[in-house]
Structure 1
Amino acid sequence: MTYRLEFLMRVLRAGFHFLSADMDTVWLSNPFNYISYDTSITIQGQTHKQTKMSGGFIIIHATSKGLKLWQDVIKCQNQNLVDLREQQHLQRKRPTSDFTEQECINNRLNTTEMNLLDPYLFPDGRSFFDLHRPQSRGIVPVVIHGNWLVGLEAKIKRLQSWNLLASTGSSCDPLENGIPYSLSKRSNPVRIRIRILAYNRLQSLQRLLESLQAANYLNDSVALDISVDRPSSEAGSSEKKRWKQVMEYVGDGETHPSKFKWSHGPLSIIVHKKHVGLLGQWTVSTDHQDVQLFLEDDVVVSPHFYIFLKQAIDFYYINESNYDSRMFGLSMQHQHTVLGQRTGFSVRSIEKELNETGAPRFFKYQLVGTWGAVFFPEHWRAFLEWITTIKIENIEEGCTPGGLLSTQWWVSRHLAGRMWTHWFIRFVYERGWYSLYTNFPNREALIVCYRESGLNFNVTRGPMNPIVEHLQSNVHLNFTKHLPVFDYHFSLIDQPALLSIRHNLWHRHYFINQCRIIEENHKVAPKLIKPKSNTPTHIKGVENKTRIIRSIHNPLLEEVTLPPSSDCFKWFLLFELIFVFPVVLLIVLGACVINRKKHTSRRKPFSR
């Protein structure tokens, strides 16, 4: 112990700041992005028991105050070793834990400038493994300290149960690395296929088809599939009438020819035999190996979308030197939604974060952009194979951890079979994958959603963004290999490989599934449990909307209250009538008797 302290002292004297961490810490991100570089702060460290500092993760600045502080710690620890040898702790009736380096540090914090690191970003073993405080607030820790547990074997066993131990041998087990490059083994060239998902919005579909027809395809042959869903048995006459209008226009692919003529390649009309919803339309299995562009019928495409798409695929998918095994495809919309929200933290702004990283034209983000989603065939096939193993009707299967808004979407829509994106979000979350996004000037996009009235919007809102009218090679086609990667919370990720182990932080064995709790308390239609308006929150600056979202994942938040059942409430009233009311009555009567005696005793001297 003294050797380590003396070595760190030599580091400070050489003019270097140091970060000292115990071997039982788990690093999930770069801690230097979260500590202060203010040299007026002498020491920083992990919070221990709310007001103390843990000696297992500390940062000391190489200043005169830092040198003096560390020299005092060394002297204190040397004296501790003397006292322990002389068994002074027995004479003073103090535990041996009072004679440690950590106590020496904490005894000197009142006399120096110090900074306790965020306890949710740098949790100790009890906070993370036992109380689940960071996870319950949708916060991904930076460094987890494996303390609050005695013995090396016990700590290894705990890490293994959470799947956070890479190996116990001399080498580490490899992390999820996406899908390896395999185009060199293919004999067929890479083709692009456009797949339109339609139902009963004829005008929207015609607008999309007109924009596709007018685009520049560089004389390539591009296959177009139009998938049309059927009305459900509960559909009204008006809904069925609008569906028939769509069918009259596109045809059925067999007896009734299509009125729409596709002049850029083969056209296929796919009419489902029964109502499958968006989930069924998106996840229908195909046997081809094409790169697929999915378009719902309320979007339009830029005349230049295919030029961009083809060059992006050549650069990021076909070119092996630029291939990223974790990138599942492209999202051709302008992204505006941050899926992950965290209790006690403001929602990140995509534009602000991109500006702070140099305003790149392209970036990688975990969320799939459904307004123009492009999937590489190997990654999409992996998703289709995965979803066949999922019990889609089970609400528990759909909950995603980490404070993601997708759980709110799932709880509110799963009974109607409306969701498909939630399954892909969870699939990507478990693997640590991401998509390519654009960041063009003026929020321009190559594919723009008109936000038509339907499953996702109650009323038509019009185009979301301006569309790219004029293609500029130095702006729209200036691809680069090394791009910033952002997680669901839109936090910049230094090591994308670590994204693949994040789902272990919300290990199902240790968490009560809040989706199931919400469903059981809302038999008619699942919805979010609203906190009482007069309930104080222990985290300042958190809006009610954010707290409601957190209630799905967080059994620990004080502001979440479950509505009592009517039977329990009746028993509660009966208990009050039988026990509480008589006690209160006796107290009141006793107070009246005492007060009467006082008045009587005061009147006696004047009775003469």
Structure 2
Amino acid sequence: HWPHGEKIVRHRVQQGGLIAAVTESWYPGSFDEYGILLEDDIEVSPFFFVWCRYALMTYKYGAAADSHPGLFGVSLYTPRRNELVHGKPRWNSNWYFWEKAKSWTTPYVQPLPCSWGAMYFPAAWMSFHRYLQYRMANPSVKVEIKGSLSNSWSASWKKFFMEMSHSYHMYMLYPNFHNQTSFSTNHLGSGEHIKTAGGDADHLPIDYTVPLVASEEEWASLFKQLPGGRLPHLDDLVGMDLLGEFQGIHEFTKHFSSGGLQQQEYKAGKEKVLAAVGVSNIIQKSAKGGTSTQNLHTKQTAVEPQQTRLRKKRIVVKKRIVSSPKRP
């Protein structure tokens, strides 16, 4: 039951697998439509929508200096494990950014798409559709991210999204409040990757089930944790790469503008939008921390709104339900 307005149910008559189920769940209808993707074992905070709107108002509909087409989404969840590094080590985001940036609770950016509750931006999702279409049509093409366990994944849409985000220096915004308090949490339902409901030896609740922002008092307290009492300006954001190496925001923005996405402004009606057009290839990187590609040639078009005031927009919540073993 969804009492919060119009809903559209897409019923898949045959199980399509994780890649198809996620990527085909949302086709953006405009550049002011944003998709919130939720797995069926994800619980959200009562304030998840407020967090999404606040981030949008800051980084998409706020000051032009705080907006950048490399930002592809906003996570609701703060991870406690790095699943791309051998051994999947635990990590504490608060300690990490205190050591690296002298801030316990600064939000951060990373090229990692979150599958445990996140809002995705329309242009990035359109680009992902085109990228995935090419990869599916050309299975002989090999794209590897040096040192990442995702190179061996076969049934994950995130593998392909990370190829795109890593190669183009795109990034997602992650919350980083005390004790990884988040706007979504993972209850470890059984399925493709977790064989036992509630977790297994490789998926312990302490590592994946994080506390939720549950009350108005908690929501208000978050602003005391944010640097300066607000989401940081774009230039003040910090982050890390897929393997957990610290990076400033400029490591993403400076490479994004010269890494294959050519930017140009044009007018659509009375609005200005920034278009990233003519993605002709993924640049061959050196073996040192780069992306290895063979005969990879794609052509994509992505458009991001760069409005200085909030216009009519639509946020679509997509709760993905796939066939999986029934829980006890």
Shared fold per TM-score greater than 0.5: yes
Question: What corresponds to 1:274 in structure 2?
Answer: 14
Question: What corresponds to 1:204 in structure 2?
Answer: none
Q: CA deviation at 1:298?
A: 0.3
Q: What TM-score results when the alignment is normalised by the length of structure 2?
A: 0.66
Q: CA deviation at 1:362?
A: 0.4
- Do 1:350 and 1:490's aligned partners in 2 also have CA atoms closer than 8 Å? no
1:385 aligns with 2:137: no
Q: CA deviation at 1:340?
A: 4.8
Counterpart Cα distance in 1 of 2:98 and 2:284: 29
| One-letter amino acid of the structure 2 residue matched with residue 282 of structure 1 | V
How do 1:226-265 and structure 2 match up within 5 A? 260=1, 262-265=2-5
- Do 1:332 and 1:372's aligned partners in 2 also have CA atoms closer than 8 Å? yes
The C-alpha deviation readout for 1:166-219, integer Å capped at 9, x for no partner, is xxxxxxxxxxxxxxxxxxxxxxxxxxxxxxxxxxxxxxxxxxxxxxxxxxxxxx
Question: What corresponds to 1:440 in structure 2?
Answer: 177
* Mean Cα deviation higher: 266-275 or 292-301: 266-275
Q: How many residues align?
A: 240
- Do 1:367 and 1:425's aligned partners in 2 also have CA atoms closer than 8 Å? yes
Question: What corresponds to 1:402 in structure 2?
Answer: 146
Counterpart Cα distance in 1 of 2:284 and 2:213: 37
1:302 aligns with 2:54: no
Counterpart Cα distance in 2 of 1:274 and 1:453: 19
| One-letter amino acid of the structure 1 residue matched with residue 243 of structure 2 | H
| One-letter amino acid of the structure 2 residue matched with residue 479 of structure 1 | L
Q: CA deviation at 1:324?
A: 2.0
Q: CA deviation at 1:403?
A: 0.6
Q: CA deviation at 1:350?
A: 4.8
1:286 aligns with 2:27: yes
1:367 aligns with 2:112: yes
| One-letter amino acid of the structure 2 residue matched with residue 402 of structure 1 | K
How do 1:167-566 and structure 2 match up within 5 A? 260=1, 262-284=2-24, 286-289=27-30, 290-319=33-62, 320-341=64-85, 349-351=91-93, 352-356=95-99, 357-358=101-102, 359-391=104-136, 394=139, 396-397=140-141, 399-408=143-152, 410=153, 414=154, 418-461=155-198, 464-470=209-215, 471-472=219-220, 473-475=223-225, 478-481=230-233, 482-494=236-248, 495-496=251-252, 497-498=254-255, 500=259, 504-506=285-287, 507-508=292-293
The C-alpha deviation readout for 1:281-338, integer Å capped at 9, x for no partner, is 2111625121110001000000111111111111111112310221111111112233
- Do 1:340 and 1:402's aligned partners in 2 also have CA atoms closer than 8 Å? no
Stretches of structure 1 that go unaligned for 5 or more consecutive residues are 1-259, 511-608
- Do 2:83 and 2:89's aligned partners in 1 also have CA atoms closer than 8 Å? no
- Do 2:75 and 2:117's aligned partners in 1 also have CA atoms closer than 8 Å? yes
Matched position secondary structure for 2:96? helix
Stretches of structure 2 that go unaligned for 5 or more consecutive residues are 199-204, 260-281, 296-328
Cα distance, 1:384–1:300 mapped onto 2, change above 3 Å:
same
Counterpart Cα distance in 2 of 1:370 and 1:272: 20
Counterpart Cα distance in 2 of 1:439 and 1:287: 28
Cα distance, 1:299–1:503 mapped onto 2, change above 3 Å:
farther
Q: What TM-score results when the alignment is normalised by the length of structure 1?
A: 0.37
Structure ID, larger Rg: 1
Counterpart Cα distance in 1 of 2:284 and 2:197: 37
Q: CA deviation at 1:458?
A: 1.4
Counterpart Cα distance in 2 of 1:376 and 1:287: 9
The C-alpha deviation readout for 1:428-467, integer Å capped at 9, x for no partner, is 1111111000111122111001011111211122561111
| One-letter amino acid of the structure 2 residue matched with residue 362 of structure 1 | P
- Do 1:299 and 1:450's aligned partners in 2 also have CA atoms closer than 8 Å? yes
- Do 2:143 and 2:293's aligned partners in 1 also have CA atoms closer than 8 Å? no
Counterpart Cα distance in 2 of 1:302 and 1:488: 26
Counterpart Cα distance in 2 of 1:446 and 1:436: 13
Cα distance, 1:442–1:274 mapped onto 2, change above 3 Å:
same
Q: CA deviation at 1:266?
A: 0.3
Matched position secondary structure for 1:391? helix
- Do 2:105 and 2:178's aligned partners in 1 also have CA atoms closer than 8 Å? no
- Do 1:398 and 1:422's aligned partners in 2 also have CA atoms closer than 8 Å? no
Higher strand share: 2
- Do 1:390 and 1:397's aligned partners in 2 also have CA atoms closer than 8 Å? yes
Counterpart Cα distance in 2 of 1:363 and 1:508: 28
Cα distance, 1:293–1:432 mapped onto 2, change above 3 Å:
same
Matched position secondary structure for 1:390? helix
Q: For CA contacts below 8 A with separation 6 or more, give which structure has more relative contact order.
A: 2
Counterpart Cα distance in 1 of 2:149 and 2:86: 10
